[in-house]
Chain A
Amino acid sequence: MTEQFAPPPSRGCSGTPVLKERGQHEVFCGLTGIIWLHRKMQDAFFLVVGSRTCAHLLQSAAGVMIFAEPRFATAILEETDLAGMADAQQELDRVVSELLARRPDIKQLFLVGSCPSEVIKLDLAKAAERMSAQFAPNVRVLSYSGSGIETTFTQGEDACLSAMVPVLPQTDARELLLVGALPDVVEEQAIGLLEAMGIGPIRVLPASRVNDEYGIGANTLYALTQPFLTDTHEALQRRGANHIAAPFPFGEEGTTQWLRAIADQFGVSEAKFAEVTDAPRARARKAVAQASEAIMGKSVFFFPDSQLEIPLARFLTRECGMEAVEVGAPFIHKAVMTPDLDLLAEGPVIAEGQDVDRQLDRCRAAQPDLTVCGLGLANPLEADGLTTKWAIELVFTPVHFYEQAGDLAGLFSRPVRRRALLKVEAAE
């Protein structure tokens, strides 16, 4: 078996100075993570302690999930809660008792901090401890912050998972832990490939139910499936677990390198690795080649959103033949991101943080063929004549591993194909 992808660039982007900006950020806060986490953890409820704005945000972002009986809600702070702090803790107890009486099937409750609750220094950790004792052993209560003053979009998942790491039991077993909430179909594919190589037992964080949980210890090996899990990564290191560094499993190359890094740790032979991966690799290459025809040779500009930007830029430039102009990320954790930065050829501006008006100036000046951005910017940029791919879909759609590689390329090529198809200009 030979490497089928281009050789790594002689100098990647890990040494490139990062443009750090601050100013207006056009991003979601970490509360949005609840929308996919509550689907993944089937016995968990997420209670945001915040304002009407928080409730409105969740509802706007969750859109049509309304009435699928969501397992999240907001305890809206009122004027009286702001007056005295002891009062707020009592109120929280009342709301949680009310909630657990209504939903007796709930096994883990997350108290999620917001900007208002952080600013008034409402101690949710203490509240979680108190309630855990009160509702044990039926319900485990944990807390984390999804506030906009501390977290950006997908960092909400990181904050949630890192809150779960300290309460996992201790073990000495040599087990593989996959970290990151993935769509079920994708998770099963990943586990299937690894098991076919003889790797196991395999655990997943977050587990779909609290009863499915397992231990962590010095023999635990873990691989991140998502780039934004930096606090969770650090929390696992504190438990003595060992990180398997790898590029993230996007596209054929990313998936292969990610699998290989794990296979190496578990002593899988070259032959076995080839036997398991050759067929899906070929499928992925074929699908990407077809799906990326429309974007071959085109330029791409990333606004910061989810921290997926760098690995996605690596995929688009190396497997789809695109050229990156600027790759913006809300936050860049060097240790986690280095394998992807090493593979990303020098050239694009690597930006961390945001001053949205200045970034828009740079984007308009560069006139990229494709701009990856949030929903607040997409339509205005389209009206300006730029083609956009809205970034949130990349978090909600199955895009990891071999079988989704073609779909991933398709997500980027569809807007480009559409622009070519439409023959009527919009009226001004």
Chain B
Amino acid sequence: MKLTVWTYEGPPHVGAMRVATGMTGLHYVLHAPQGDTYADLLFTMIERRNHRPPVTYTTFQARDLGADTAYLFKDAATAAYERFKPEAMIVGASCTAELIQDDPGGLAETLGLPIPAIPLELPSYQRKENFGADETFFQIVRALAKPMEKTARVTANLIGPTGLGFRHRDDIVEVTGLLMDMGIEVNVVAPMPASPSDIAKMGQAHFNVLMYPETAETAARYMEREFGQPYSKTVPIGVGATRDFVKEVAEIAGVEPVLDESRLRMPWYSASVDSTYLTGKRVFLFGDGTHVAACARIARDEMGFEVVGMGCYNREQARMLRGLAKDYGVEALITDDYLEVERRIEELAPELILGTQMERHIGKRLGIPCAVISAPVHVQDFPARYSPQMGIEGANVIFDTWVHPLVMGLEEHLLTMFREDFEFHDEAGASHHGHKAKLREIGISDGAENETVSPQQAQVSTGPVEIVWLPAAEKELKKIPFFVRGKAKRNTETFASERGVSEISVDTLYEAKAHYAR
């Protein structure tokens, strides 16, 4: 048993629902108890779909368990076929039905439906949502796609987009544009928004663009093996990665690498003097492996941030991310426990968090700005406006999104200059974050209450030496603007402990400041 408060991923059958909901003409018959329909509202509310997900639940109840729940499954599957007349069906069990062992695949076969009924084996007690999506798409491709003669013109399949995917809708448009500029046509985009008959045509493409390894890598490998279709390894998120992607695809397709950069504003924005204050900002990245890897490169090479930590929640990407983290000189955090992520963030005291919905809340708690780079996300990250992460426009979107939560450059200077000011002090908050400004009471000095801080209270434990902040140093620390205070505190403590100093005085603080000056 594992004690869990919040989870980054749902169970694997939710991954299968993401594939089914993304597709058209496909129906999912899910052997599941009452209540599992909660997952419908992820699609109708968070993604704001205007149709019910194409999922029929058998809704077995306690009183059915003595009798034959298998009949319920058969009836539900027959009724779903009659009502929705899909081109193909996927059938499977949720976690509870897995325990009662009804074998939906075998049962569906005995129904003799005139359409393919593809059985799914999704081990609910071992695997999670991303595995469910990847495995489901793979099984659909394996069942429906066949080797075919290649198209006369150069074509590619885009694979990986699903229902409830972070910016999948707009990434499809952006990548289609990138390929079109090189004269490459898109054959099928799958699973979203393909139909089973589209899947059947996937074999005629020259190669596959693997947009999201989490949800389509198994299918990509299968098609490489069976249909001789190579697949792209670069995910075009960020300027550098988009350029690499274009080169990689041009090589696979045997065409000229063409990239229209006329709308690309991100590199100039990042180079302009207004962005100088971004230099060396300490960022922590967390999310799914693919987005974290891509965003780490943007953070360091395109924004000039310092990457102080990175991690992912999906173990499938752990090896890749561990390798990458080494290049950045940090240790990868592979965990699906948000408390561990929170501890790491607290420890690193970054100035910006790039993460998921959970990290946004961690950031809010710790008072650290955060931008969202990966699922899971709430409704506001399925925006009405065009906002891809991939390609040229994706780079523009990312620049805006990441810079927005930071205190703006000039504001940062003003806060440093007037940090004792009663109207313009650090606790007043940033001008654009929608809090009510808190005036400081005139006449009460900032550090007054700190005079009484006892050494015991101010104790921190970094390493073997117990480090104590002397009251004067504690007071001085308070004068440092809030957005660099965490960094200053950490640096000073590291500086002290490396030198075996156990008491931090004002001098220690400034010696450390001089030591770390850049």
Q: Are A57 and B2 in contact (CB under 8 A)?
A: no
Comparing A71-79, A197-205, A214-222, A283-291, the segment that makes contact with chain B is A71-79
B100 contact set on A, CB distance < 8 A: 119
Given contact pairs A67-B364, A119-B65, A375 touches B3 in the complex (Cβ within 8 A): no
- Which residues 355-407 of B have a CB within 8 angstroms of A? 357-358, 361-362, 364-365, 378
- Which residues 1-36 of B have a CB within 8 angstroms of A? 1-7, 9-11, 13-14, 33-36
B365 contact set on A, CB distance < 8 A: 67
Q: Please report the C-alpha to C-alpha distance between residue A158 and residue B79 in the assembled complex, in whole angstroms.
A: 33
A9 within 8 Å of B by Cβ? Answer: no
Q: Please report the C-alpha to C-alpha distance between residue A147 and residue B99 in the assembled complex, in whole angstroms.
A: 15
- Which residues 39-81 of B have a CB within 8 angstroms of A? 39-42, 44-45, 48-53, 56-62, 64-65, 76, 79
Q: Are A29 and B50 in contact (CB under 8 A)?
A: no
Comparing A148-156, A186-194, A230-238, A246-254, the segment that makes contact with chain B is A148-156
Given contact pairs A60-B41, A357-B83, A379-B50, A147 touches B2 in the complex (Cβ within 8 A): no
Given contact pairs A52-B95, A115-B96, A379 touches B36 in the complex (Cβ within 8 A): no
Q: Are A376 and B40 in contact (CB under 8 A)?
A: yes
- List the A residue with the shortest CB-CB distance to B50: A383
Q: Are A73 and B3 in contact (CB under 8 A)?
A: yes
Q: Are B99 and A82 in contact (CB under 8 A)?
A: yes
Q: Are A94 and B95 in contact (CB under 8 A)?
A: no
Q: Please report the C-alpha to C-alpha distance between residue A382 and residue B51 in the assembled complex, in whole angstroms.
A: 9
Output the residue of A148, A377, A426 with the most chain B CB within 10 A. Answer: A148
Q: Are A25 and B126 in contact (CB under 8 A)?
A: no
B35 contact set on A, CB distance < 8 A: 27-31, 57, 115, 147-148, 152
Return the contact of A148 from the options B10, B34, B79, B126 (Cβ within 8 A).
B34
Q: Please report the C-alpha to C-alpha distance between residue A77 and residue B96 in the assembled complex, in whole angstroms.
A: 11
Q: Are A378 and B44 in contact (CB under 8 A)?
A: yes
Main SS class of interface, A:
helix
A59 within 8 Å of B by Cβ? Answer: yes
B425 within 8 Å of A by Cβ? Answer: no
B128 within 8 Å of A by Cβ? Answer: yes
Given contact pairs A56-B14, A150-B61, A115 touches B33 in the complex (Cβ within 8 A): yes
Q: Are A24 and B1 in contact (CB under 8 A)?
A: no
B187 within 8 Å of A by Cβ? Answer: no
Q: Are B41 and A374 in contact (CB under 8 A)?
A: yes
B290 within 8 Å of A by Cβ? Answer: no
B204 within 8 Å of A by Cβ? Answer: no
B37 within 8 Å of A by Cβ? Answer: yes
- List the A residue with the shortest CB-CB distance to B336: A52
- Which residues 85-113 of A have a CB within 8 angstroms of B? 88, 91-92, 94-95, 98-99
Q: Contact string, B72-113, partner A, CB cutoff 8 A, digits 1/0?
A: 000010010001000000000011100110000000000000
Output the residue of B2, B53, B378 with the most chain A CB within 10 A. Answer: B2
Return the contact of B44 from the options A31, A32, A59, A380 (Cβ within 8 A).
A380
Given contact pairs A51-B95, A60-B38, A95-B1, A149 touches B61 in the complex (Cβ within 8 A): yes
A352 within 8 Å of B by Cβ? Answer: no
Q: Are B34 and A149 in contact (CB under 8 A)?
A: yes
Q: Are A76 and B1 in contact (CB under 8 A)?
A: yes
- List the B residue with the shortest CB-CB distance to A59: B6
Q: Are A149 and B10 in contact (CB under 8 A)?
A: no
B208 within 8 Å of A by Cβ? Answer: no
Q: Please report the C-alpha to C-alpha distance between residue A27 and residue B51 in the assembled complex, in whole angstroms.
A: 17
B125 within 8 Å of A by Cβ? Answer: yes
Return the contact of B11 from the options A30, A53, A378 (Cβ within 8 A).
A53
B65 contact set on A, CB distance < 8 A: 119, 149
- List the B residue with the shortest CB-CB distance to A91: B1
B124 within 8 Å of A by Cβ? Answer: yes
Q: Are B4 and A61 in contact (CB under 8 A)?
A: no
A77 contact set on B, CB distance < 8 A: 1, 125
A346 within 8 Å of B by Cβ? Answer: no
Q: Are B76 and A24 in contact (CB under 8 A)?
A: yes
Q: How far is the CB of B12 from chain A (nearest CB, A)?
A: 8
Q: Are B125 and A79 in contact (CB under 8 A)?
A: yes
Q: Are B40 and A52 in contact (CB under 8 A)?
A: no
- Which residues 23-62 of A have a CB within 8 angstroms of B? 23-32, 49, 51-53, 55-57, 59-61
Q: Are B358 and A66 in contact (CB under 8 A)?
A: yes
Q: Are A74 and B4 in contact (CB under 8 A)?
A: yes
Total contacting residues, chain B, CB less than 8 A: 59
Q: Please report the C-alpha to C-alpha distance between residue A413 and residue B486 in the assembled complex, in whole angstroms.
A: 50
A420 within 8 Å of B by Cβ? Answer: no
Q: Please report the C-alpha to C-alpha distance between residue A27 and residue B59 in the assembled complex, in whole angstroms.
A: 10
- List the A residue with the shortest CB-CB distance to B49: A379
Q: Are B40 and A78 in contact (CB under 8 A)?
A: no
Q: Are A24 and B125 in contact (CB under 8 A)?
A: no
Q: Please report the C-alpha to C-alpha distance between residue A75 and residue B13 in the assembled complex, in whole angstroms.
A: 19
Q: Are B36 and A148 in contact (CB under 8 A)?
A: yes
Q: Are A150 and B62 in contact (CB under 8 A)?
A: yes
Q: Please report the C-alpha to C-alpha distance between residue A78 and residue B94 in the assembled complex, in whole angstroms.
A: 14
B378 contact set on A, CB distance < 8 A: 63-64
Q: Please report the C-alpha to C-alpha distance between residue A357 and residue B125 in the assembled complex, in whole angstroms.
A: 31
Q: Are A75 and B38 in contact (CB under 8 A)?
A: no
B125 contact set on A, CB distance < 8 A: 51, 77-79, 81-82
Q: How far is the CB of A428 from chain B (nearest CB, A)?
A: 9
Q: Are B33 and A379 in contact (CB under 8 A)?
A: no
Return the contact of A24 from the options B38, B57, B126 (Cβ within 8 A).
B57
Q: How far is the CB of B385 from chain A (nearest CB, A)?
A: 15
Q: Please report the C-alpha to C-alpha distance between residue A81 and residue B126 in the assembled complex, in whole angstroms.
A: 12
Return the contact of B124 from the options A30, A52, A95, A378 (Cβ within 8 A).
A52
Q: Are A56 and B7 in contact (CB under 8 A)?
A: yes
Q: Are B52 and A377 in contact (CB under 8 A)?
A: yes
Q: Are B96 and A116 in contact (CB under 8 A)?
A: yes
A31 contact set on B, CB distance < 8 A: 35
B2 contact set on A, CB distance < 8 A: 75-76, 78
A74 contact set on B, CB distance < 8 A: 3-5
Q: Are A379 and B364 in contact (CB under 8 A)?
A: no
A147 contact set on B, CB distance < 8 A: 33, 35, 62
Q: Please report the C-alpha to C-alpha distance between residue A60 and residue B11 in the assembled complex, in whole angstroms.
A: 12
- Which residues 112-149 of B have a CB within 8 angstroms of A? 123-126, 128
B3 contact set on A, CB distance < 8 A: 73-76, 95, 98-99
- List the B residue with the shortest CB-CB distance to A66: B361
A342 within 8 Å of B by Cβ? Answer: no
A369 within 8 Å of B by Cβ? Answer: no
- List the A residue with the shortest CB-CB distance to B48: A379
A76 contact set on B, CB distance < 8 A: 1-4
A120 within 8 Å of B by Cβ? Answer: yes
Q: How far is the CB of A73 from chain B (nearest CB, A)?
A: 5
A56 contact set on B, CB distance < 8 A: 7, 10-11, 14, 39
B124 contact set on A, CB distance < 8 A: 51-53
Q: Are A149 and B83 in contact (CB under 8 A)?
A: no
Q: How far is the CB of A25 from chain B (nearest CB, A)?
A: 5
Given contact pairs A51-B11, A116-B95, A28 touches B38 in the complex (Cβ within 8 A): yes
B57 contact set on A, CB distance < 8 A: 24-25
A70 within 8 Å of B by Cβ? Answer: yes
Q: Are A73 and B5 in contact (CB under 8 A)?
A: yes
Q: Contact string, A355-381, partner B, CB cutoff 8 A, digits 1/0?
A: 001000000000000000011111110
Sample (12) of A-B pairs whose CB atoms are under 8 Å apart: A24-B57, A26-B37, A29-B34, A30-B35, A52-B4, A53-B96, A64-B378, A73-B3, A74-B3, A115-B33, A116-B95, A375-B44
9 nearest interchain CB pairs? A29-B35, A148-B35, A376-B40, A383-B50, A115-B96, A51-B95, A375-B41, A67-B361, A148-B34
Using CB atoms and an 8 Å cutoff, list the residues of chain B in contact with chain A. 1-7, 9-11, 13-14, 33-42, 44-45, 48-53, 56-62, 64-65, 76, 79, 83, 94-96, 99-100, 123-126, 128, 357-358, 361-362, 364-365, 378
Extra A-B contacts (17), CB below 8 Å, given A55-B6, A57-B35, A73-B3:
A22-B59, A24-B58, A52-B4, A52-B95, A53-B36, A60-B39, A63-B378, A66-B6, A67-B364, A76-B2, A91-B1, A94-B1, A147-B62, A374-B41, A376-B37, A376-B44, A383-B50
